[in-house]
Structures are given as C-alpha cells and as structure tokens.
Amino acid sequence: MQTHTLLMPLDMHLHLRDGVMLENVAPLSAYSFSGAIVMPNLVSPVSSLKDIQEYKQRIMASVPNDYFEPYMTLFYKNYDKAFLESVADDITAIKLYPAGITTNSEGGVSSFNIKEMSETLEAMSELEIPLCVHGETDGFVMDREAEFMSIYELLASSFPKLKIIMEHITTKEAVEMLDKYENLYATITVHHLLLTLDDVVGGMMMPHNFCKPIAKRPEDLDALLSVALKAHPKVMFGSDSAPHPQNKKESCGCAAGVFTAPIALQLLCEIFEQYESLDNLQAFVSDNAQSIYGICPEFKEVTLEKRTFVIPQNYSSVVPIYAGQAINWAIQTVD
Amino acid sequence: MQTHTLLMPLDMHLHLRDGVMLENVAPLSAYSFSGAIVMPNLVSPVSSLKDIQEYKQRIMASVPNDYFEPYMTLFYKNYDKAFLESVADDITAIKLYPAGITTNSEGGVSSFNIKEMSETLEAMSELEIPLCVHGETDGFVMDREAEFMSIYELLASSFPKLKIIMEHITTKEAVEMLDKYENLYATITVHHLLLTLDDVVGGMMMPHNFCKPIAKRPEDLDALLSVALKAHPKVMFGSDSAPHPQNKKESCGCAAGVFTAPIALQLLCEIFEQYESLDNLQAFVSDNAQSIYGICPEFKEVTLEKRTFVIPQNYSSVVPIYAGQAINWAIQTVD
C-alpha cells in the first residue's frame, strides 16, 4: 500500500472558536497537526494578555495529551509598544481584520491610516511579530481581494521589516504579489485549491462550499495551484477551517466558512498527487511555515495511506467539505 | 395619494409549473398581469400539440374568471415544418434550452449545429414564430451568458427573419447585442434590475436571490437598468418568476429560481421611480412586448398606489424575493 509521511504538519490559519465548539473541533486539529496559528476572532476578540492566556488554556484543556501547539494571535488594534512588549512572548502573530469583513470582525480596522497604525506596526517590526491580514475590501464580492492589493502594497512598502502574511489568498493578483515585495507571504487553504465559484453557485447552491473570501475564477485556482504545488517558499498551508453548526450553514442566510481541519491532509495528498507529486507537500504543510515564522514544533509524524476514505457526514454538529464523498487518502498512523 | 396605472401588463417569461404549484401560483400572475409567456420546461417538456392544449387547459382551470391569457410555448427540438404548421395557432413562441442548463432542461439542445437546426428555424421564420432562448453555455458561472453571445450572433445572422428573444439577460454583453442585430430582442427580469452577485453570496448566502442566470456584476446591473428604464424598444419585461417549495430553496443544494410574480409590478414601480420616472414603465411592461410579438391583450387596468407594502413571508409554500421587507408601492385596484 502506498503511504506518505509528513513531519510536523502545521495549520497556519485555524478557527477553533470557543466553548462546546472548541471542545468538538480542537481534538480534530490536534490529531493531525503539530500546531496551528489560532485566529483571535471570538465573539469578544482576543485583545489582552489575559484573553490570550485564558484562551490558550481553554484550547489546551480541549485537546488530548498528544502534543499540539496553539500558536496564539492577538486581534489587531492600534496597540502601543509597551503593551506589545508585554504580550510578545505569548503570541506568534497579530491578525488584522478590516471591520465587518467576516465572522466576528466588527472591531477591526475601518480605515488604513498608515500614520495612525505606524506605532503598532513599527513596534511589531522591531519585536518581529508577523502581521496576518484578512485582505478584502468591502467592494463587489469577486473583486474584494484584488482591490485590497493596493493596501498590501502600502503596508509592505511602508513597513519593509514587518512580515506580512496575506491570509487565505484566492486570486492570481495575490499570487503575483509574492514576488513583488520581500516581506509579503501567504497562506492558502485546501478548499481554495479545490473550488471555484462554480462549486458554490454554479449548479445548485452549496452552503458547505461558501466561505470568505469566496472561491474565485478558474484562472485564480490555477494561479493558487501553481504556487502551492511547487511549495513556493513564501507560501504556507493554512486551512481557515471555520466550523459553524449545521443549522447555521443549511438555513436561509447561511454563515461563511468551510470546515476542513480533520480532512485537510488527506485532501492535500490527493491534490498534490493528482496534479504534480507528493514531493513538495512537506514544504507546503510545514517546512515553509517553520522558516517564515521561525518556529520549531516538537516531533510529530503523520503517515497517510492511499485507500478509499469516505468523508464523514458530520463531526458532531459540523458538516465538513465533501461530506459523504470518497477520497483516495486516509490517515494511517500518528506518532 | 400618488397612483400609477398600467394597461395590460404582460409577463413575457413565466414559470407556472404544474399540479398543486400551478394552482398556487397561476392566480397570482392572473391577478396583476393580462397575460404571460408560459415556459414549457415541465418535468416532461411541452413538446406536442396535445401537451400544449392540455397544459393551457390546466392553466385556465387554475385561474379565476378574470381575464388572463397564457401565451403558450413549445419546448425546442428539431421539429419538421409540417408539425410546426400544425401547432402554429396554439403557440406564441418556441423556447430553446441548452441541454441541462437549468431546471428540467435535460432534453434541450446539446450542440448548436446550424445545419441540423435549419429546417426548424427556417420554418419558424416563415411561420413567424419567435425563438426564445436561454442563452448560457456550460462554462464558468459568471461567463456563461457572455460566452453565449457568439451563438446568438450565429443564430441571428443565419436566420435574419427569425425573431430571437434573448431571455432574462444579465450582462452588458447581452445589452450590447440589442443594437447589433435587427432580429435580436430581450427580456429582463425585475430581480436582475435589483441584484448583483453580492446579494447572493456577498454577505451571507441568500438562497431566495439565487437563480440562473446568476445575478452578475455592478456594471452589468447598470447596463440592464440603462435599457429597461428607457424602455429600449427591443426590451420587454419577463419575470422568469420561478417558484420552488420553501424546503427546496432553504436546504443544502438549493434549487435555482427567484419567485417574483405577485410583487413584480410593485417592485418595477419602485425601481423606475427611484432611478428615472414612471413614464417608460408602460412600454417596458406591455407596449414593447405587444409590438415585438404582435399580440393584442384584452383590456386590463392595474392601478398601483404609493404606500408602504410589506412583502408577505410566503405565498403558500413559496417564499418570494424580499420576503418580509417593506417596499413603497402596492396594487390598489385591478379592472
């Protein structure tokens, strides 16, 4: 049987939520990943040292004894340097949301005034805290990310020592930015390596493929695949796995978010094998992230085997992408 | 109180379905419209004289005694001339669906072979039977209509005496075609004068705004408004009102179709008043269609009044567009 082993897989963009949902989903990520960058967009955003430490404790209490490192993030606001120094040891990055752009982002940035942001971003540069950005404007849904490129350019050129991660990129415009600015990096989800808008509204309307940023055009998918499959050194895997209860996804006015965490590695094996080879997958799911973030996860070995695996209809209250469909890779062992 | 009277309003593209759904929705169209072009895409498409006559009887049996004319259409296949002569008096148009492109269109045209279609389309030209076309390819969802323009060009230039109606147009590309070929006409829905893709998947996912062709970009909406508000003489109102039971719209894998028939005139008053004036609405909802199709509906007068009207949450099992929302126009009297 064909197998493929991944060392220290990392999910560089993950929503673990809180409460019962956290307890349901955290063990699933902890099973197949060494660690994950945990997003701070709780109902009350993670924006103080106490918030960070308490949320980390709740995460650790939700996962089994197996090793899993939650790399904590702070919700971006204009913080002063003293505060950032006080939290620097407890966070791996700061996550910036434009106000109102996605789930629980109401307290985000409403205008990109470089002067007002300068103290925070200069301090982050000095303290070597990367800035993770949800890069969308409030424009037309298919243009939001492309329109945001000018803001990435402004941030990247104004703060050349700040590591800026373009989160969950979905367009050829974002891919092109990677080679334009030394300090721009990106995460790519597994679903954006699989879907276009056709899979959301091209046939019937598919709520479990609906997310923000929305899946774009075929040429965008091709551009994402081109850098992911080669494991472009500035690109990392980040699932953006975003659980919502089934009733919130399958009702009128469904929430945005695709749940992929427990099947991400299996799907990535399938995609890399189908288009290219499994050779670059290790770099895409771990090595690039270790270099970019300068993190050293403890040893973990995940072996996948090539066999039919039917994706469960649900994980407790959450329906995953491709529920009930058969794929070609399954997790064999985790050590 | 401000009022506005429309004479013989016509819905030049309507889905009445069959059975219980027909009984539910036909009276709603018959109340506010003089007549409607009735689409033939039943589960077993309307494709024989018997089908046409029986379906017309079922429609008439479903509407109250008030005058309402169902203008019947035949499902396009390659028919011979003798057959078309035998049905010409019983139909107003023939509707062409590319195979599999929308609800119950599996038996449609799978390749546009002009030679094979020639006998049918020549006979239709001679018999002055307009061809109504669902103009979408099976390409990427946002490109399907624009990609179909070359097929319209082929049809329009190959059969210059055939009246071709581009149904429910949604793009600037289709608008531009109107002035390019003398024999190309178009219907426009009320929802495509209101929605863009933002209203379908830009915020939360909105199944009751999901239809085929899908609502497009802001510049497409502007192009549609520009010809509708001026009542471009080659443009007619056609609702494409497409009822589905609520449970089929609000479940995972929701069906395409927006239900607008009972509120179309009210919404059109609102749109025309907001952007321009009510002056051209009469031409858009009736006069243009009478000229293009050469039809003379019996007298009917629908008076709308400007007052707050809350759109019902549902009409029997069907949820309309903007359910529960207040609009500014209501129907006052129908004579």
**Cβ-based contacts of A251 with chain B (< 8 Å):** 250
What is the SS3 assignment for A241?
strand
- Give the residue among A243, A90, A297 at the shortest CA–CA distance from A285: A297
On whether any CB of chain A is under 8 Å from the CB of B253, the answer is: yes
DSSP state, A269?
H
Contact between B140 and A207 using a beta-carbon 8 Å cutoff: no
Contact between A140 and B210 using a beta-carbon 8 Å cutoff: no
- Judge residue B326's burial from the number of C-beta atoms within 10 Å of its C-beta, 0-12 exposed, 13-18 middle, 19 or more buried: exposed
User: How many Å lie between the alpha carbon of A256 and the closest alpha carbon of chain B?
Assistant: 7
C-beta separation of B63 from B30 below 8 A = yes
- Domain boundary assignment for chain A: 10-299
**Cβ-based contacts of B204 with chain A (< 8 Å):** 253-256
Q: In sequence order, what are the beta bridge partners of A301?
A: A7
- Whether the pLDDT of residue B253 is over 80: the answer is no
Cα A222 to Cα A48, A170, B263: the distances in Å are 40, 10, 43
The larger pLDDT score, comparing residue B105 to residue A93, is at A93
Contact between A254 and B141 using a beta-carbon 8 Å cutoff: no
Over its length of 335 residues, how does chain A's per-residue pLDDT go in tens digits?
999 999 999 999 999 999 999 999 999 999 999 999 999 999 999 999 999 999 999 999 999 876 899 999 999 999 999 999 999 999 999 999 999 888 888 889 988 999 999 999 999 999 999 999 999 999 999 999 999 999 999 999 999 999 999 999 999 999 999 999 999 999 999 999 999 999 999 999 999 999 999 999 999 999 999 999 999 999 999 999 999 999 888 877 788 999 999 999 999 999 999 998 999 999 999 999 999 999 999 999 999 999 999 999 999 999 999 999 999 999 999 99
pLDDT per position as a tens digit, B143-170: 999 999 999 999 999 999 999 999 999 9
Rounded-to-integer distance, Cα A219 and Cα A199, Å: 14
Contact between B197 and A254 using a beta-carbon 8 Å cutoff: no
Task: Compute the Cα dihedral for A169, A175, A179, A180 and give only its sign.
Answer: negative
pLDDT of the residue at B331: 98
pLDDT of the residue at A144: 98
pLDDT of the residue at B250: 80
On whether any CB of chain A is under 8 Å from the CB of B205, the answer is: yes
Scan for tokens 């695709």, then name that residue: A258
Take residue B30 and report the two structure tokens written for it. 């018959």
What is the SS3 assignment for A199?
helix
Contact between A196 and B140 using a beta-carbon 8 Å cutoff: yes
By percentage, how much of chain B surpasses pLDDT 90?
91
Please name the residue ranges forming H helices in A63-113.
81-87
- Whether the pLDDT of residue B186 is over 90: the answer is yes
pLDDT of the residue at A251: 75
Order of all β-strands in the sheet with B35-38: B10-14, B35-38, B69-75, B93-96, B131-133, B164-166, B184-188, B235-237
Rounded-to-integer distance, Cα B22 and Cα B158, Å: 37
User: Binning pLDDT at 50, 70 and 90, where does residue B252 land?
Assistant: confident
pLDDT of the residue at B100: 85
Contact between B208 and A252 using a beta-carbon 8 Å cutoff: yes
Contact between A201 and B210 using a beta-carbon 8 Å cutoff: yes
Rounded-to-integer distance, Cα A57 and Cα A60, Å: 5
Order of all β-strands in the sheet with A326-334: A3-7, A301-310, A326-334
The number of beta carbons lying within 10 Å of the beta carbon of residue A295 is 18
**Cβ-based contacts of B217 with chain A (< 8 Å):** 140, 142
CATH assignment, A10-299? 3.20.20.140
**Cβ-based contacts of A249 with chain B (< 8 Å):** 252
On whether any CB of chain A is under 8 Å from the CB of B192, the answer is: no
pLDDT of the residue at A114: 93
User: How many Å lie between the alpha carbon of A249 and the closest alpha carbon of chain B?
Assistant: 8
Measure CA A314 to chain center.
21
Tell me what percent of chain A is helix, strand and coil, each rounded to the nearest 5. Answer: 40, 20, 40
Q: Which residues of A are catalytic?
A: 240
Average pLDDT on B230-257 reads 91
Nearest Cβ partner for A197 among B141, B205, B255? B141
On whether any CB of chain B is under 8 Å from the CB of A71, the answer is: no
**Cβ-based contacts of B196 with chain A (< 8 Å):** 140
For chain B, what is the HEC assignment? CCEEEEECCEEEEECCCCHHHHHHHHHHHHHHCCEEEECCCCCCCCCCHHHHHHHHHHHHHHCCCCCCEEEEEEECCCCCHHHHHHHHHHCCEEEECECCCCCCCCCCECCCCHHHHHHHHHHHHHHCCCEEECCCCCCCCCCHHHHHHHHHHHHHHHCCCCCEEECCCCCHHHHHHCCCCCCEEEEECCHHHCCCCHHHHHCCECHHHCCCCCCCCHHHHHHHHHHHHCCCCCEEECCCECCCCHHHHCCCCECCCCCCHHHHHHHHHHHHHHHCCHHHHHHHHHHHHHHHHCCCCCCCEEEEEEEEEECCCCECCECCCCCCCEEEEEEEEEC
User: How many Å lie between the alpha carbon of A60 and the closest alpha carbon of chain B?
Assistant: 32
**Cβ-based contacts of A196 with chain B (< 8 Å):** 140
- Whether the pLDDT of residue B129 is over 80: the answer is yes
pLDDT per position as a tens digit, B56-79: 999 999 998 768 999 999 999 999
On whether any CB of chain B is under 8 Å from the CB of A120, the answer is: no
Measure CA A160 to chain center.
23
pLDDT of the residue at B150: 97
On whether any CB of chain A is under 8 Å from the CB of B90, the answer is: no
Nearest Cβ partner for A140 among B196, B208, B249? B196
**Cα atoms found within 13 Å of the Cα of residue B335, Cβ hemisphere only:** 8
On whether any CB of chain A is under 8 Å from the CB of B247, the answer is: no
On whether any CB of chain B is under 8 Å from the CB of A7, the answer is: no
Contact between B207 and A252 using a beta-carbon 8 Å cutoff: yes
Nearest CA in chain A to B257: A204
The ipTM value here is 0.94
**Cβ-based contacts of B202 with chain A (< 8 Å):** 140-141
C-beta separation of B60 from B34 below 8 A = no
C-beta separation of A174 from A196 below 8 A = no
On whether any CB of chain A is under 8 Å from the CB of B201, the answer is: yes
Rounded-to-integer distance, Cα A95 and Cα A77, Å: 9
Q: Which fold has domain B3-334?
A: TIM Barrel (3.20.20)
Rounded-to-integer distance, Cα B96 and Cα B40, Å: 10
